[in-house]
């Protein structure tokens, strides 16, 4: 009788030792795969952008076909890791909010003035549904233009921010 | 940054309007995005630009390359593109690229931010990073820069790849075009920009036809309110003129006035009379105003739906069904409430307050002032508390909704829960939610149980004040016992109308927004309509000619990109192509759900726009992939397009569609109700009913849009057989992914990105060995697998 498939075998990660990532003259990501083939432009995609941002990175070619999966970017050689991490930072811009200065709402729209790790920002939401509460006080926000913001744990914000935020969640 | 001078928000608004201001100033030239460049950059620019060079495009970013918020600049002159990138350094790094060297400008759309990238033959440079907020601005500016490049390299302008897709800014209206503020998700109109006064006048127009009822109702209310303030005055008379003299007489050992009881009885009867009067006329007025309100609802609702049915498909495409539904159901109701009740409440409550104030001030103005003191306190408190309660109850409401969500997903999914033995997980999840509801309820109770005692206490302060001040006045002989009682009663009666009036603003705003939403429907003109001089075409032959047809749904990307071909009457055309190739769009143009943006569609030699819509659509039959049946019987649905059809015709149509046999097997036969959207009959049955519906209409042009893709093989062959009968002698457009379905087709039109790629018979196209041959080959392989 045949054995059932081992599902672990179905995923092959790219060998971090034999993967080369560089940037070409057109500022595109270029990847040399373990089989020796070279691809550019390569687009890295986080498969778990919210929960595992540095693991299971899918590399796509120009036609959005998957070239392979990187199990953990920290296994890569330092030079490769820097380039990939830099590109991922570009592709996923989601500032972390550290303080809420003001939050005013009218007709269901809310206008936020907040401090993030990368500077102060103001943005608008069209409804409460644009705020997603996850486990352990984590909050994701998507504003009217499609920008995204994150609050790592809202219980750890200052009391004023918490009071303002709790009117919305 | 946050505290000083302009806030970031102000700057965004200014940036938005600045662009248009500059455009206005340069209206003699081409319109370009030209923002005000800060002084610090101006200095640098003088060194970089030649003397005659002028800045034509200037746009700022809100992000820098190191991923922090901040402003970088991209400028373009007739000769070069300049990018200033600060990146935390004291002076920005400048990138100076000659326009001549630029091959292409690219926009990279990423998560939460975009990049603008310039590509030359030697390399590429990222020149700007910006958040999604600025995406529309950059989408607008990019073609402007490209136009400058085209001027320098005119020989490439036609062929270059510079013209590519831009952000779709117009489709989802998220911000108000007038004030730039966000539009809430539940509304399509900006609540800030609604012209309230005008709306009110327009709303009142709906009440005018019923003035014969509403004006008397208003008068009745004024009288009711006047009578309503009367019983306390009667009490006063009773106490001061009868009871107190009587008490004094008794304590003084004197006999009580013999007429006193008669007077007492008169007053008591007057009191009863006042209450009966109020009760009876309130009921009468209530009935009258309900009638007026319901008449307004009736008119408004029918007007709105009638107009909606005339509107073209693009109106529906841009709006969510739920949103439109709530306009007809909820918004109309809210308007009725406002016109019928709100306005009268304002008048009535104000009058009641005025009456009471006048009486109190006439009797004793000093005490009247004291009575008014606690009122604002009570109002403020109930507002503050109402606000808090609202928050707490909102949280609670969401937690209850959480319970419903869990139940709604677990109960229908119970088979999966059991199959994967996840009962415990689901129970835990449920328990966690119910504990949260418990906490929420207890939080609400903390507030709620406080509210009543505090409110009572505040009211009591008023009473105590009256006792204190009024009591002292009584001791001084300035006030009577009856008067103090009157003040007591009025104080309690004061609160209710004051509260109603205080909430009026909110009620008015909501009504104004609702009005705008309803009027938006009434004010929209259908984009596809019959012309005044449109002709009837009673006996169409069914020749359809496409002449250089272009069409776009969103004026961004053309869905149809220059299509020309002619069908002979009675010919069957198979439309083939990948999804998004424009097959369905072409059909939408034939049925005139949309009109072409350029070119024309001729039917029997007449421009389709010159033909009366009823006449045109009356001769077009449609069978869709997922046919829509209406709630009603099978017979109703078959006869939908021909209400005067006889029973015999309906049976004949069902027989022709191979539907008769299964219909008679239902216990209720043709009288079987199909349920909402036809849910009570299977997919293949629905399909055959819809074919019968099309057959009965006897159209000259027939459209089959994936008519057999969602049924099993045996049902398909029955439907195919029925379709074979249906297509005889008609012009047919058939869309199918399964090419075998198109075996009856006289000619095949292969579409690719909105253009005709190939056209010809099956054999011709196979012989040609192009796209169609390729598709055929792939499907033959697939069908082998299916057969096996």
Greatest mean pLDDT among B371-380, B430-439, B500-509: B430-439
**Domain end call among A59, A91, A123:** A91
- pLDDT at position B784, please? 61
Q: Give Cα A46 distance to the centre of its chain.
A: 6
Residue range B494-516: mean pLDDT, rounded:
78
b/e code B531-565 from CB counts within 10 Å (16+ = b):
eeebeebeebebbbbbeebebbbeeeebbbbebee
A12 and A76 in a common domain: yes
* Cβ under 8 Å to B: A residues 111-130: 111, 113, 115-116, 118-127, 129
CA pair distance A74, A84, nearest whole angstrom: 10
* B415 near A CB under 8 A: no
A159 and A134 in a common domain: yes
Q: Is B632 left (phi over 0), alpha (psi -120 to 50) or beta?
A: left
Q: For residue A136, count other CB atoms closer than 10 A to its CB.
A: 9
A120 and A71 in a common domain: no
Query: B508 to chain A nearest CA, in Å?
Result: 13
Output phi, psi for B737, to 5 deg: -85, -40
| Minimum-distance CB partner of B133 among A49, A125, A145 | A145
Quick one: closest CA in A to B133, which residue?
A: A145
pLDDT at B165 > cutoff 70: no
All domains in chain B, ordered by first residue:
8-157 (2.30.29.30), 196-522 (1.20.1560.10), 542-619+733-788 (3.40.50.300)
Please write the tens of the pLDDT for every residue from B404-462: 888 988 888 899 999 999 999 999 999 999 998 999 899 889 888 888 888 888 878 88
A63 and A13 in a common domain: yes
The answer to whether the CB atoms of B184 and A107 lie below 8 A apart is yes
- pLDDT at position B776, please? 82
Residue range B235-264: mean pLDDT, rounded:
87
pLDDT at B541 > cutoff 60: yes
Q: Which of B512, B385, B503 is nearest to B449 (CA)?
A: B385
Query: B87 to chain A nearest CA, in Å?
Result: 12
Query: Binning pLDDT at 50, 70 and 90, where does residue B555 land?
Result: low
A85 and A12 in a common domain: yes
pLDDT at B601 > cutoff 60: yes
Q: Which residues of A touch B183 (CB under 8 A)?
A: 109, 126
B595-598: list long-range contacts, CB under 8 Å, 24+ apart.
B595/B527, B595/B528, B596/B549, B596/B550, B596/B551, B596/B560, B597/B550, B597/B551, B597/B552, B597/B555, B598/B548, B598/B549, B598/B550, B598/B551
If you average pLDDT over every residue of chain B, what do you get? 82
- pLDDT at position A129, please? 79
CA pair distance B732, B727, nearest whole angstrom: 7
| Percent of chain A residues past pLDDT 70, beyond the cut | 99
A138 and A161 in a common domain: yes
A108 and A83 in a common domain: no
| Domain that residue A117 falls in | 97-166
Q: Which residues of B touch A28 (CB under 8 A)?
A: 124
Q: Which residues of B touch A26 (CB under 8 A)?
A: 119, 123-124
* A168 near B CB under 8 A: no
HSE value, Cβ hemisphere, 13 Å, CA-based, for B519: 19
Residue range B743-749: mean pLDDT, rounded:
86
A86 and A101 in a common domain: no
- pLDDT at position B539, please? 83
Q: Which residues of A touch B185 (CB under 8 A)?
A: 108, 126-127, 129
Q: Which residues of B touch A93 (CB under 8 A)?
A: 63, 67, 110-113, 131
CA pair distance B184, B175, nearest whole angstrom: 9
**Domain end call among A57, A91, A125:** A91
Query: Binning pLDDT at 50, 70 and 90, where does residue B42 land?
Result: confident
b/e code B388-424 from CB counts within 10 Å (16+ = b):
eeeebeebbeebbebeeebeeebeeeeeebeeeeeee
Q: Are B768 and B758 in contact (CB under 8 A)?
A: yes
Q: Is residue A1 part of a domain?
A: no
Q: Which of A78, A75, A80 is nearest to A55 (CA)?
A: A75
Q: Which residues of B touch A40 (CB under 8 A)?
A: none
* B111 near A CB under 8 A: yes
Greatest distance between any 2 Cα atoms in chain A: 67
- pLDDT at position B17, please? 41
- pLDDT at position B31, please? 62
* B405 near A CB under 8 A: no
A87 and A11 in a common domain: yes
Q: Is residue A22 part of a domain?
A: yes
The answer to whether the CB atoms of A109 and B69 lie below 8 A apart is no
- pLDDT at position B420, please? 92
Please write the tens of the pLDDT for every residue from B387-409: 788 778 877 887 888 888 889 88
* B187 near A CB under 8 A: yes
* B401 near A CB under 8 A: no
Please write the tens of the pLDDT for every residue from B314-368: 888 777 777 788 888 888 888 888 887 787 888 888 888 888 888 888 888 888 8
Bridge partners (DSSP) listed for residue B58 = B34, B75
Length of chain B: 788
A161 and A106 in a common domain: yes
Query: Binning pLDDT at 50, 70 and 90, where does residue B267 land?
Result: very high
Q: For residue B725, count other CB atoms closer than 10 A to its CB.
A: 13
The answer to whether the CB atoms of A107 and B110 lie below 8 A apart is no
Query: Binning pLDDT at 50, 70 and 90, where does residue B23 land?
Result: very low
pLDDT at B2 > cutoff 90: no
The answer to whether the CB atoms of A122 and B7 lie below 8 A apart is yes
- pLDDT at position B498, please? 80
Q: DSSP of B177-231, one letter per residue?
A: TTT-PBPPTT-SS-TTT--HHHHHHHHHHHHGGGHHHHHHHHHHHHHHHHHHTHH
Quick one: closest CA in B to A141, which residue?
A: B112
- pLDDT at position B167, please? 41
- pLDDT at position B18, please? 40
Q: Are B708 and B677 in contact (CB under 8 A)?
A: no
pLDDT at B51 > cutoff 90: no
Query: A51 to chain B nearest CA, in Å?
Result: 16
- pLDDT at position B755, please? 87
Residue contacts between A and B (CB atoms, under 8 Å) = 107
pLDDT at B183 > cutoff 90: no
A82 and A27 in a common domain: yes
Q: Are A107 and A125 in contact (CB under 8 A)?
A: no
* A107 near B CB under 8 A: yes
Bridge partners (DSSP) listed for residue B620 = B701
Query: B457 to chain A nearest CA, in Å?
Result: 29
Q: Which of B200, B271, B268 is nearest to B229 (CA)?
A: B271
**Domain end call among A74, A91, A108:** A91
The answer to whether the CB atoms of B184 and A108 lie below 8 A apart is yes
- pLDDT at position B554, please? 66
- pLDDT at position B25, please? 38
- pLDDT at position B631, please? 86
Number of domains in chain A: 2
Please write the tens of the pLDDT for every residue from A48-87: 998 899 999 999 998 888 999 999 999 999 999 999 999 9
Query: Binning pLDDT at 50, 70 and 90, where does residue A112 land?
Result: very high
The answer to whether the CB atoms of B132 and A147 lie below 8 A apart is yes
Please write the tens of the pLDDT for every residue from B675-696: 876 777 888 888 889 888 988 8
The answer to whether the CB atoms of B135 and A145 lie below 8 A apart is yes
Q: Is residue A136 part of a domain?
A: yes
- pLDDT at position B247, please? 87
The answer to whether the CB atoms of A126 and B183 lie below 8 A apart is yes
Bridge partners (DSSP) listed for residue B751 = B756
Of the residues B5, B8, B185, the best mutation for testing chain A's interface (the one with the most A CB atoms within 10 Å of its CB) is B185
- pLDDT at position B1, please? 37
Token couple for B575 = 């439309």
Q: Is residue A143 part of a domain?
A: yes
Q: What's the CA angle centered on B434, arms B428 and B440, to 5 degrees?
A: 140
Q: Is residue A126 part of a domain?
A: yes
SS3 state of residue B318: coil
B137 membership: H or E segment, kind and range: helix B135-152
- pLDDT at position B5, please? 42
A122 and A57 in a common domain: no
Q: Which of B231, B482, B483, B226 is nearest to B355 (CA)?
A: B226
* A3 near B CB under 8 A: no
Q: Is residue A2 part of a domain?
A: no
> Is the dihedral angle over the CA atoms B318, B321, B326, B329 positive or is it negative?
positive
Query: A140 to chain B nearest CA, in Å?
Result: 12
Bridge partners (DSSP) listed for residue B465 = none
Q: Which residues of A touch B115 (CB under 8 A)?
A: 90
Q: Which of B784, B495, B468, B734 is nearest to B625 (CA)?
A: B734
- pLDDT at position A1, please? 62
The answer to whether the CB atoms of B2 and A108 lie below 8 A apart is no
Q: Is residue A82 part of a domain?
A: yes
């Amino acid at each position: 009788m045949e054995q059932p498939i081992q599902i672990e075998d179905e995923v092959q990660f790219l060998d971090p030792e034999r993967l080369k990532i560089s940037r070409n003259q057109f500022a595109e990501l270029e990847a040399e795969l373990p089989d020796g083939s070279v691809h550019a432009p390569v687009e890295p995609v986080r498969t778990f952008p919210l929960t595992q941002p540095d693991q299971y990175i899918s590399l796509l070619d120009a036609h959005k076909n998957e070239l392979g999966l990187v199990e953990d970017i920290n296994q890569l050689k330092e030079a490769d890791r820097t380039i990939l991490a830099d590109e991922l930072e570009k592709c996923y811009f989601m500032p972390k909010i550290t303080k809420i200065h003001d939050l005013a709402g009218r007709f269901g729209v809310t206008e936020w003035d907040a401090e993030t790790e990368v500077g102060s920002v103001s943005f608008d939401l069209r409804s409460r549904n644009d705020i997603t509460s996850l486990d352990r006080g984590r909050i994701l926000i998507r504003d009217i233009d499609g920008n995204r913001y994150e609050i790592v744990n809202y219980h750890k914000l200052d009391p004023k921010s918490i009071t303002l935020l709790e009117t919305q969640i | 940054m946050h505290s000083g001078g302009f806030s970031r928000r102000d700057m965004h608004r200014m940036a938005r309007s600045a662009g248009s201001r500059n455009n206005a100033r340069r209206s003699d030239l081409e319109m370009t995005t030209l923002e005000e460049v800060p002084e610090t950059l101006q200095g640098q620019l003088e060194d970089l630009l030649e003397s005659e060079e002028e800045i034509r495009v200037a746009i700022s970013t809100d992000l820098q390359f190191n991923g922090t918020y901040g402003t970088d600049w991209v400028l373009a002159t007739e000769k070069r593109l300049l990018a200033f990138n600060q990146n935390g350094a004291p002076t920005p790094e400048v990138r100076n690229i000659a326009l001549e060297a630029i091959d292409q400008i690219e926009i990279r759309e990423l998560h939460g931010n975009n990049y603008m990238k310039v590509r030359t033959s030697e390399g590429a440079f990222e020149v700007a990073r910006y958040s999604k907020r600025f995406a529309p601005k950059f989408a607008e500016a990019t073609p402007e820069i490209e136009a400058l490049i085209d001027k320098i390299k005119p020989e490439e302008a036609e062929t270059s790849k510079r013209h590519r897709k831009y952000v779709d800014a117009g489709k989802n209206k998220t911000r108000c075009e007038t004030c730039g503020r966000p539009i809430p998700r539940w509304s399509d109109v900006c609540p800030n920009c609604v012209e309230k006064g005008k709306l009110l006048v327009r709303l009142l127009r709906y009440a005018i036809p019923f003035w014969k009822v509403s004006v008397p109702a208003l008068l009745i209310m004024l009288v009711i309110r006047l009578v309503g303030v009367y019983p306390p005055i009667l009490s006063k008379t009773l106490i001061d003129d009868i009871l107190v003299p009587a008490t004094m007489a008794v304590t003084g050992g004197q006999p009580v006035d013999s007429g006193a009881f008669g007077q007492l009885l008169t007053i008591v009867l007057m009191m009863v009379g006042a209450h009966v009067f109020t009760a009876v006329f309130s009921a009468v007025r209530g009935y009258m105003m309900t009638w007026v309100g319901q008449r307004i609802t009736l008119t408004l609702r029918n007007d709105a739906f009638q107009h909606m049915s005339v509107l073209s498909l693009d109106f529906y495409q841009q709006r969510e069904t739920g949103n439109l539904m709530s306009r007809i159901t909820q918004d109309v109701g809210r308007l009725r409430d406002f016109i019928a009740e709100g306005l009268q409440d304002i008048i009535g409550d104000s009058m009641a307050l005025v009456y009471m104030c006048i009486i109190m001030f006439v009797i004793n103005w000093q005490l009247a002032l004291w009575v008014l003191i606690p009122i604002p306190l009570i109002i403020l408190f109930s507002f503050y508390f109402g606000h808090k309660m609202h928050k707490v109850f909102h949280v609670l409401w969401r937690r209850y909704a959480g319970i419903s969500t869990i139940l709604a997903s677990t109960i229908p999914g119970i088979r999966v829960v059991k199959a994967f033995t996840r009962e415990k997980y689901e129970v835990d999840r449920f328990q966690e939610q119910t504990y949260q509801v418990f906490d929420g309820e207890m939080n609400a109770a903390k507030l709620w149980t406080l509210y009543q005692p505090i409110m009572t206490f505040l009211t009591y302060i008023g009473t105590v004040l009256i006792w204190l001040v009024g009591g002292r006045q009584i001791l001084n002989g300035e006030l009577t016992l009856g008067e103090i009682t009157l003040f007591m009663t009025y104080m309690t009666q004061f609160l209710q109308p004051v509260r109603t009036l205080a909430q009026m603003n909110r009620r008015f705003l909501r009504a104004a927004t609702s009005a705008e939403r309803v009027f938006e429907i009434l004010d929209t003109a259908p984009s596809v309509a019959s012309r005044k001089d449109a002709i009837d075409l009673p006996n169409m032959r069914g020749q359809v000619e496409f002449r250089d047809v272009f069409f776009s749904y969103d004026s961004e990307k053309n869905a149809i990109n220059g299509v020309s071909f002619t069908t002979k009457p009675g010919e069957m055309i198979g439309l083939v192509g990948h999804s998004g190739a424009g097959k369905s769009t072409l059909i939408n143009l034939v049925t005139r759900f949309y009109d072409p943006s350029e070119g024309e569609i001729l039917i029997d030699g007449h421009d389709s726009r010159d033909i009366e819509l009823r006449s045109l659509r009356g001769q077009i039959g449609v069978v869709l992939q997922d046919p829509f049946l209406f709630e009603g019987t099978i017979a109703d649905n078959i006869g939908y397009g021909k209400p005067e059809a006889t029973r015999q015709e309906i049976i004949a149509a069902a027989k022709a569609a191979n539907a008769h046999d299964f219909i008679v097997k239902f216990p209720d036969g043709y009288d079987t109700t199909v349920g909402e959207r036809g849910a009570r009959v299977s997919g293949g049955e629905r399909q055959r009913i819809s074919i019968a519906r099309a057959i009965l209409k006897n159209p000259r042009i027939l459209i089959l849009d994936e008519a057999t893709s969602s049924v099993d093989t045996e049902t398909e062959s029955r439907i195919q057989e029925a379709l074979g009968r249906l297509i005889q002698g008609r012009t047919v457009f058939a869309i199918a992914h399964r090419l075998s379905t198109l075996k009856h087709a006289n000619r095949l039109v292969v579409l690719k990105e909105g253009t005709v790629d190939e056209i010809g018979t099956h054999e011709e196209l196979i012989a040609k060995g192009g796209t169609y041959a390729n598709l055929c080959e792939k499907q033959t392989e697939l069908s082998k697998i299916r057969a096996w």
